[in-house]
Structure 1
Amino acid sequence: MKVQFYKYIENLQDIITSKLEEIDGAANFKEDLWKRKEGGGGRTRVIENGAVFEKGGVNISKVFGELPEALRKQFGVKEGNFFACGLSLVLHPINPFVPTVHANWRYFEMYDDKGNIVTQWFGGGQDLTPYYLFDEDAVHFHTVCKNACDKHDLEFYPKFKKTCDEYFWNTHRNEARGIGGLFFDYLKETPKYSIKERFNFVTEIGDSFLESYLPIVNNRKNISFTKEHKNWQEIRRGRYVEFNLVHDRGTLFGLKTNGRIESILMSLPPTVQWHYNHVPEKDSEEEKLIKILANPKEWVS
């Protein structure tokens, strides 16, 4: 399974970066291969200063070896070896009317002292962070997510949408990071689902990503914007940074497993603002977004 899933994310990285370069039209991804001294490594691809994308990364990695102390405590074991691989992407567009997007699909195994698998699971999801809210974009993104889920189980979309709303929540701000999407973790083999069926589901979600995001980019990338629009985008990017550094499990996992710091923190946008006690103007488009972020919405039924 680990070989099969790693081959899948290698190919998916190629597909996604190729399509993103095509839609940007000016910048290409720079590739950076790296190795982890304890075992494993990755292939980082970053795009910067393009016509559409100010900064973005589409990274794959696989790490393995002895469980770090932080993970031994988390899993309640004295020793053990592990394998983890995944694809993680974040795209920060130039235009404030184009949303930031994040996605991640990953697989994990843990072994006993004889090398037998004692636990294995999939995790991942994708979520959208707009700066100016277009209801039709939110509906489109969630519809694609729902359609991919419904091919496997009608209970998946409402369950994983709710989990996403709860996970991408900036508790110290009492607001959502964005308008959500899907988030799932610890998808193990059960009497109802084999590990192969879990693989089929996660790859279905990964395959649906471009359909969920690229039409939105195409519809919004040429909208004219002002310095005020850009300021608002950068203020909201500050909340994005806060979540990733304070709450995000993926960031913390990378740091605890001695991951490559440049790849872990590629999710951070290049320009950000923090204003003291910033409050948007009443009845503005900015306030409209804030109200939605305070009360996550059901975009599709």
Structure 2
Amino acid sequence: MSEFREQVVDFVRDLQSRIVSALEAHEPQMKFKKVSWERPGGGGGDTRVISGGQVFEKGGVNVSVVHGQLPPKMQEKFKSKTTDFFATGVSLVIHPRSPQVPTVHANFRYFEQAERAWFGGGADLTPYVPAPELFRHFHSCFQKACASYALDAYTRFKKECDEYFFLPHRGETRGIGGVFFDYLEGDREKTFEFVKKSGEAFIEAYIPVVEKTKGLKYSERQKKYQLIRRGRYVEFNLIYDRGTLFGLETKGNTESILMSLPPEVHFDFQADLETNEEERQLMGWLKKPVEWADAQT
């Protein structure tokens, strides 16, 4: 393994540990379980999972370090004459029990294929209750991380996030967004520094949200609403998500790939998601994304 690959692997493993520690601080009676796995075609990883927690109903923080041969379908996608590849990254999804606490997703990854190498990643928030102040905080953390990379980085990556996590068949986004970037090539060291800052920004962005919302009371309707909205999460991950599709195409660890799915979901026929002002406000934001970092909403 090259020196640069080792640096990236060390980064994703360290970030995994720090994120798990930060989350465990809010689950004093439960710890994340470590499950290691191997990929038949080369490499492997380990998944830290939690299930049935008081705050986190289900969650996983996965690290993968894989290499080998791209399947023909993926080789065609990358328009490459060679099949060798190397990929490493950390990915996570946390599904809190309370609808007051937003679901969160993040991943930071590095990929080499033939003569090309690039970084990708991002983080996004999926709330079930309107909380504009917390949404501004989440976005502002990533806006700050992006500032050191390029003046327009946050604007571009925020827009890409809104577009990527859009469900065309529903006409709405999965959540209130964050940042999303892919195929970042060019200055490798500069880009790596940006990815590291983004990983740090995730902890700064999400943990305070958990602290402020985990003790709030919620109604039966808010819980029902959460379960229906989780259905949208499932729809996106199984139909559109690149990471899910890539993992399955390259014969990754199925359990780790599907760890993103929530433990309980409602798929109600013609579910009404705008039964009160709170729901109408949130749905309005999902249908027309807001510039949260600069918003006065």
For normalisation by structure 1, the TM-score amounts to 0.95
Residue number among 203, 206, 216 corresponding to 1:213 in the alignment = 206
Query: Secondary structure, in 3 states, of the residue corresponding to 2:113?
Result: strand
Q: Please give the root-mean-square deviation of Cα atoms over the aligned residues, in Å.
A: 1.0
- Equivalent in the alignment of 1:252: 245
- Equivalent in the alignment of 1:195: 188
Q: Does structure 2 retain, via aligned residues, the 8 Å contact 1:127–1:182?
A: yes
Query: Secondary structure, in 3 states, of the residue corresponding to 2:231?
Result: helix
- Where in structure 1 are there 5+ consecutive unaligned residues? 112-117
Query: Secondary structure, in 3 states, of the residue corresponding to 2:206?
Result: helix
- The question of 1:102 aligning with 2:113 is answered no
- Equivalent in the alignment of 1:29: 32
Deviations 1:192-212 (A, max 9, x none): xx1111101111101111110
Q: Does structure 1 retain, via aligned residues, the 8 Å contact 2:128–2:225?
A: yes
Query: Secondary structure, in 3 states, of the residue corresponding to 1:86?
Result: strand
For normalisation by structure 2, the TM-score amounts to 0.96
Query: Secondary structure, in 3 states, of the residue corresponding to 2:25?
Result: helix
- The question of 1:242 aligning with 2:235 is answered yes
**TM-fit CA distance, 1:282:** 4.7
- Equivalent in the alignment of 1:59: 62
- The question of 1:183 aligning with 2:176 is answered no
- The question of 1:19 aligning with 2:16 is answered no
- Equivalent in the alignment of 1:133: 130
CA distance in 2 between partners of 1:234 and 1:282 (Å): 15
Q: Which amino acid aligns with 2:258?
A: L
Deviations 1:32-72 (A, max 9, x none): 01001110001111011111100000000011011211211
* Identical residues among aligned pairs (%): 50
CA distance in 1 between partners of 2:56 and 2:276 (Å): 29
Deviations 1:65-124 (A, max 9, x none): 11211211111234320000000000000110100000000000013xxxxxx0000000
Query: Secondary structure, in 3 states, of the residue corresponding to 1:184?
Result: strand
- The question of 1:5 aligning with 2:2 is answered no
For 1:282-297, list aligned pairs within 5 A. Answer: 282-297=275-290
- Equivalent in the alignment of 2:270: 277
CA distance in 1 between partners of 2:289 and 2:211 (Å): 25
- The question of 1:44 aligning with 2:52 is answered no
CA distance in 2 between partners of 1:85 and 1:271 (Å): 30
Query: Secondary structure, in 3 states, of the residue corresponding to 1:234?
Result: helix
CA distance in 2 between partners of 1:223 and 1:159 (Å): 34
**TM-fit CA distance, 1:283:** 4.2
Deviations 1:207-266 (A, max 9, x none): 111110011111110111222211110000000000000000000000110000000000
- The question of 1:298 aligning with 2:266 is answered no
Deviations 1:2-39 (A, max 9, x none): 11101101111111111111112221101001001110
CA distance in 2 between partners of 1:294 and 1:24 (Å): 34
Q: Does structure 1 retain, via aligned residues, the 8 Å contact 2:149–2:191?
A: no
Q: What count of residue pairs does the alignment treat as equivalent?
A: 291
Query: Secondary structure, in 3 states, of the residue corresponding to 2:269?
Result: coil
Q: Does structure 2 retain, via aligned residues, the 8 Å contact 1:25–1:51?
A: no
CA distance in 1 between partners of 2:265 and 2:229 (Å): 8
CA distance in 2 between partners of 1:178 and 1:45 (Å): 24
